[in-house]
Amino acid sequence: MSAFMDEVEKRNLSDIFVMTSGCAGLCSREPMATVEIVKQPPVKYVDLTPEKVAKIFAQVLGAQIRSPQDISLNLEEIQRYQLIGFGSGIYGAKHYESLLDLADKLPMVSSRELTPVSPREVFIFSTAALTGESKASDDHKALRNKLESKGYAVVDEFQCKGFNTNSFLKYIGGMNKNRPNAEDLSNADDFARNLMKNRQRVKVDDK
């Protein structure tokens, strides 16, 4: 709650109302947040854990979440999508091996398939112990290089802190407890909305 209030204050927002609620009947999925936008159905955010970042992107962009293992079984499927997000936790300054392996297996985006309006675009995201612009850029480098070498255009990148139980940290309750938190998720929501806005703008500009 205080993360939401801080965010409203920090951004000087006057059209947002933050309030607590009673039990929504999903206590096992706490912490939860419901976002209600006028004239749109309310959206409940549950399990505020690392995967939640992907769920927010999927929700905002109207996308599906798929595992690298699942997509690897049907690589042709990837040809159907115009915008794809690739993300995971960071392990040893890189994304999960399974995601890097998937990037290696992806078919090349052939120039024949590109239209002036929508080349195959991707975005990269991660949760990590430590974050920052150059840290994210370094952490994402291996995946970015693989995707670019296949002809994908990386349009934007997102990173936030994630609960970390690496090494001895597991014995002391971990690091970044409860991350991603409400503020991280609000940033993820903004990121996805901006992505959508920029893509719509590109389409309009190209008309």
Ligand X SMILES: Cc1cc2nc3c(=O)[nH]c(=O)nc-3n(C[C@H](O)[C@H](O)[C@H](O)COP(=O)(O)O)c2cc1C
- Residues contributing to the site for ligand X (CB under 6 A): 50, 89-93, 127-130, 162-166
Helix (H/G/I), strand (E/B), else coil: 57: helix
Residue 50 vs 109, nearer CB to ligand X:
50
Q: How far is the CB of 51 from ligand X (least distance, A)?
A: 7
Inter-residue contact 18 to 1 (CB < 8 Å): yes
Smaller CB distance to ligand X: residue 59 or 164?
Answer: 164
- For residue 63, give Cα distances in angstroms to 17, 55, 109, 131: 27, 9, 20, 26
Position 154, amino acid = V
Q: Which is nearer to ligand X, 131 or 186 (CB)?
A: 131
Q: Which is nearer to ligand X, 88 or 121 (CB)?
A: 88
Task: Please give the Cα distance from 45 to 30 (Å, whole number).
Answer: 9
Q: Which is nearer to ligand X, 135 or 199 (CB)?
A: 135
Closest distance between ligand X and the C-beta of residue 130, in Å?
4
In whole angstroms, the minimum distance from the beta carbon of 142 to ligand X comes to 11
**Least distance CB 68 / ligand X (angstroms):** 13
Cβ pair 4, 32 in contact under 8 A: no
User: String of b and e for 153-186 (b: at least 16 CB within 10 Å)?
Assistant: ebeebbbbbbbbeeeeeeeeeebbeebbbbbbbb
Pairwise CA distance, residues 156 & 199, whole Å? 11
- Could you report how far apart the first and last alpha carbons of the chain are, in Å? 43
CB of 133 to ligand X, least distance (A): 14
